[in-house]
Each structure stands twice: as C-alpha cells, then as structure tokens.
Amino acid sequence: MVEESTLSEAYIMIGGPQGSGLETSAQVLTVIFASHGYGVIANREYHSNIIGRHSYVAMTVNSVKTPRYFNYPFHTAAFMDAESVFVHYEDVGENSILVYDKGLDNVNIDNVVSIRSDTKERLLREYHAQGIDPTVRGITNYLRSSKGVQVVGLDYKSILSILREKFSVPLALARRYVSSIIVGAVVGSFGIASEDVIREGFKYRFRGREKIVESNTYIASLVAKEVMSQVKTFKLQEGRAIDDFSFVVSGNDVVAIGKVVGGVRFQSYYPITPAQDESFYLEGHMRITTSRGDLGGIVVFQTEDEIAAIGAALGAALTGTRAATATSGPGFDLMAENISWAYEAEVPVVITLYQRGGPSTGMPTRGSQEDLFAALFSGHGTTPRIVLASGDHEEAFYDAIKAQNLADKYQLPVIHLLDKFLANAIVTLQPPDLSNVMIERGKMITSYNKPEPYKRFSLSDGPISEFAPFGVKNAISWYTGLEHNEYGLVSEDPETRMKMVEKRISKFFLADKEIPEEGERAVLLPKDINISDVELLMVGWGSVKGVAVEAAKVLREQGIKAAYLHIRYFAPFPARYVSSLVSKVRKSGGLIVDVEHNEFGQAAHIIEMNTGIVIDKFILKYTGRPIYLNELVNAAKKIMKEKIDKVVLKYGA
C-alpha cells in the first residue's frame, strides 16, 4: 500500500439499486467519519419507486470544517450493481478509486432492464463516440486505460459466502450485507481498516443488535484490507477534536427537532415525498422527556389528504396549541383555500413546504426551487403571509422555531420553505445554541375579565388583536372565512370592510418594519467583504447557499472578488437592503448573477417586483440534481469571461 498525497477534503460516491441498503451505507459512513472529527454531508438521489431503480449517494468529507456542498470528480466510488457502473463512469478522475463487483463483468447495458430507454440511448451514444464496449468490463477497461482510474474488482458473492461459514447467516439474507461491502470499500480507500473504527458506524445503525453489528463489521473490515492491498490509498488529514455529543441528522430530522424545541405540540400531514419523513420522525419521538422531566407529548395526525391536514392544524391552533403541517408542492396546492382562510380569520399556523421537482407530480424524489411563486401568491384575494427560506441545516433548526414565533406574533400564516436537497441530505451538526431561543406567543391571552364583550378582531388596540383560544371563559368568538366585524360576525358593511382589510394588511407592514433586513432577512457572505470591491455578486436562496458560499471562496482564491447574497425572507422582502447592495456592486462595475434550482429564475423576478432592479444574468439548474461546486465555479467564470447572460447546469446522473 502506497499512500497518495494527504487530502483535507474528499468526495465520495456510492451507488446501487433502490432498497438495497445504500442509505444504511451512507449513515454508517457518516458516523464513522464524524466520530473521528470530520465534517460530512451526504445526499441521496433516487427514483420514485420502492425498490429496484437506480440510487446513489454523493458525500463530501472535510477535516477542518463542516461542508455544505458536493463536488466532482469523486476520489472514491463504490458500486453495488452494473447500472451504477454504466451511469457514473465519467464521475471518477485520474487516480480515483472505483470498487465494483467483478461478477458483473459480462453484463451488457442492453440487459439492464432498470435503465430507462432514453438514458440507455444517451449512454450508448457516449460509449460509441469514445469507443467503449457497452459491458461492465468494457467500462472498467476504459477507466483504467484512458482515465487512470484505480479499478478494484471484488467477488461480492465469495465475500458474502463467508457470512454463512463464520456467522451462520443464511444465503437468502447474505445479500443484505452488500451495504457493508460498500462501507469497507470506501473506508479502505482512505486507509481505514480498523474493526474498532468501523464498528462505531454499525453500532449507530444497529444499536442493540450485537450479532448484526459484528457480522457487518467483519465484512467491511475484510473488504477494506483487500482494497488497501490493491491501490494507492488516499489519506485524510487528521480530523478536528469534536464535542462528546453531536448530531448526524437529515434536514427533515432537524426541522422536526426545531419544532419540538419551539413548542409545536400538534403536527398534521398527509404522506408525500420529501416532506413525510419529518412527520415520521415526530411520530417516533411523540413523548418529550428532558432533564427537567416529562414535558408531555406531541400529537402527530395523519389525515386523509392535505386539505384535511391544514384544516386540522388550524383547528388545533384555535385551541391555543402551537400547530404546524408539512407538505410538498402538490399537497401545498390543495392547501391554498385554507391559507386564505387563515389570513382572513387571523389564525397563526405554520406550513413547512419541502420543494420537489414539478409541475404536477413532476419528479417526486428530485429537488427544485420551483415553489417560490406558489408560497408567495397562492390563495385568492389579498393574502400576504410571511415566507422564509432556510439555506442549510443550522438555519432550518432555528427557522422552525422562528416560524412559530412569527405566526403567533403577527397572527398570520407562515410558510417555511425548504427543498429536497436539504430534506434528504445527512449532515454532521454540533448541538445548537439554545441560550437565545425563546418561545413568543404574542398577544395570546388565557383569561378575560373585562366587563365588555370580547372582540376577537378589535380595531382599538392596533393591527394585532388579543387572541383568546377556545375555552377561555367569557371570551366568546366567531371564526369565518367571510368578512366580519370586530366580534367575528359576518358583515358586508363597506366601512367595516375597509377597516378590516386595513387592519389585516397593517400586520404585514408591521412585520416589515420590525424584522431586521440586514443579517436577518438577507445576509451578505462573507460578512467582512467590502461590497464596493465585489466583481461578481451571486444572489440566491435555500440550499444554493452552501455551494455558492464555497464557490465565492474558490473564485476569490483565483483572483475574482466574488460574494454571495443569501435571501432568507421573501415576505416581507428585504427590499431596502437588497437594493443598496446591488446598486453598490453595479456602480463599481460588478456583475449580479441569479443562481437557482429552477428554469425561470423566480427569485430574480421577486427582486424585480420589490425593488425595480432587473437581474439579467442567470446560472440555473433544473435537472432535479444538486448544484456541484465545480460546475458553479466554471459557470460563474464563463459568464464573466464570455459576457453571456445565462448558463444552464447539467452535471449529475
């Protein structure tokens, strides 16, 4: 074994059929790296079927920081099946390590029925142009000879047969252990073969099932040693010292945790990808026990559809319970009428919206940022709401709490926007700082002792009225989707109508006045950059943040003064702050480029609507796959050098 140069950051890919244990491999690898001080992010891309179709995981491992982006070429790729070899043959580069099952050598791409015809036709055109025989052996020979890839062919069947001899695992169950071969292949490529190290990852995944832990650990360690004997391994720099307690969580998990910390005690949902995992997590943690004792529970209610889901959340909110619902695009469409109702009736409710590829059913398991217009404008009539979008897992945790506070404070519906890339990405996360976390219930009252009848929609105490939940003695109230008077009783009197319209809209204007723009509703990154020196300002939102911040850093290292403007609130929009920054960049001759996961540049249109500023440079991606670091850096340089208006990104299978 000869070690390659030491890496501070490594890019890894693992692939296999859906339902084959690939997610288990990713979890185990994340824990192994995290437990030794490495920051990790892992994202699974998969088809919308339960078992059989192609799935893969991209990972970034860093020894000095917590990465929030992906890159290529991959240093290591480990594949379970032939389809992964056929589809991802170009994702590895010189000296990269590819581990595959040599028992698949004779498989021809024409015999892989799970590959869709359009994908197969595209790949065959590529193979023909490069003179590649369309078999697994043909692909691996090409990678060895033309790209300098270190190819390791292992006999997976022989490896798995050891399980029967050593651990009495029946042959029918042995295939489940292919995921441990993948783990061993990856850690071995980085010179890791210690059973103690590998065991940590399997203990996390199979806690309390010692026999399974030991058998998986044995296979993974065996494979790691074999890989190390055949290749020049990579070596990661020593990881950081870590706290005794850290999280390995997905975006769904961290939003669910944030909701519990933020006081949510009722969550409704109808199962829909990729939102459902948040509610599944809450269902697994419905009893809340802390060092202060038992704090009660959270009710998680699966409804018959999304109309019922938001209706149930509104009903819970009227009792004074902190209530939320979670959904994705098609489900959000069904909630539009009740969002209007929540605004009319001034009911605080949070809708967590996980974006996926649309329109209609679209691509249920792929990511996008296509629901911004829907989040802002769905619902008839004038129905402003607060819309905030999280850029990473840390923001998602605090935003889950903040959304509840904002809903209560302004008695408005709040849309918390995330996307599939955040929802499904697994990351290492240090425990959040709870010292400044507060639960703010706004003007909710628990008793009413005034001599005059209670006016739920009183016009005498500013735009936000006292909210007495159902059950408060002497506080009788009426709720309707119709226009109403101060008591909630139906009224179409023109003067009453005008006052109620102005009351409701004034709450939104108040939020615009009170929520800070700089640093809260929009953030310039890096924070210490001189905006007047910026040559390239990328503007984006949501999960674009991680890769855009890193791309700006790479560009600065290459002599281009780049920065990223991260928009966190789209309603109320930080118009004054954004206008100021963009004007300063343009005044000094810099370029403004919109970066988004949609084909229309939706955020750029919202900026124009709120500021009058037209952004006419775009870097867009709408394949449903995440933006990778290299493609964003190259696109930014292309726009600057060639003075073109738009680059469409395409990387990713």
- pLDDT 10s digits, 246-305: 788 999 999 999 999 999 999 999 999 999 999 999 999 887 776 676 667 899 999 999
The CA–CA distances, whole Å, from 433 to 255, 292, 649 equal 15, 18, 36
DSSP 8-state secondary structure symbol assigned to residue 111: G
Fold of the CATH domain 248-429 = Rossmann fold (3.40.50)
Q: What is the pLDDT of residue 296?
A: 74
CATH architecture of 522-649: 3-Layer(aba) Sandwich (3.40)
SS3 assignment, position 93 = strand
How far, in Å, CA of 501 to CA of 346, rounded? 12
Checking DSSP bridges between strand 235-236 and strand 150-154, what pairing results, if any?
Answer: unpaired
Q: Which tokens go with 429?
A: 């996360």
What pLDDT is recorded for position 431? 87
Per-domain residue ranges of the chain: 6-236, 248-429, 450-514, 522-649
The pLDDT score that the predictor gives to residue 220 is 96
Q: Count other C-beta atoms under 10 Å from residue 501's C-beta.
A: 13
User: What are the residue ranges in the chain where pLDDT is below 50?
Assistant: 1
Same topology for domains 6-236 and 248-429, yes or no? no
pLDDT at position 243, please? 61
6-236, what's its fold? Pyruvate-ferredoxin Oxidoreductase; domain 3 (3.40.920)
Residue 246 is predicted with a pLDDT of 75
Strand 299-302 relative to strand 363-367, pairing = unpaired
DSSP element (H, E) containing 62: strand 54-62
Contact residues for 182 (Cβ-Cβ < 8 A; gap 6+)? 14, 16, 22, 25, 78, 79, 80, 99
CB 603 within 8 A of CB 587: no
pLDDT (tens digit per residue) in 543-596: 999 999 999 999 999 999 999 999 999 999 999 999 999 999 999 999 999 999
Report how far residue 396's alpha carbon sits from residue 255's, in angstroms, rounded to the nearest whole number.
Answer: 6
Which residues, in sequence order, are CB contacts of 33 under 8 Å at separation 6+?
40, 61, 239, 428
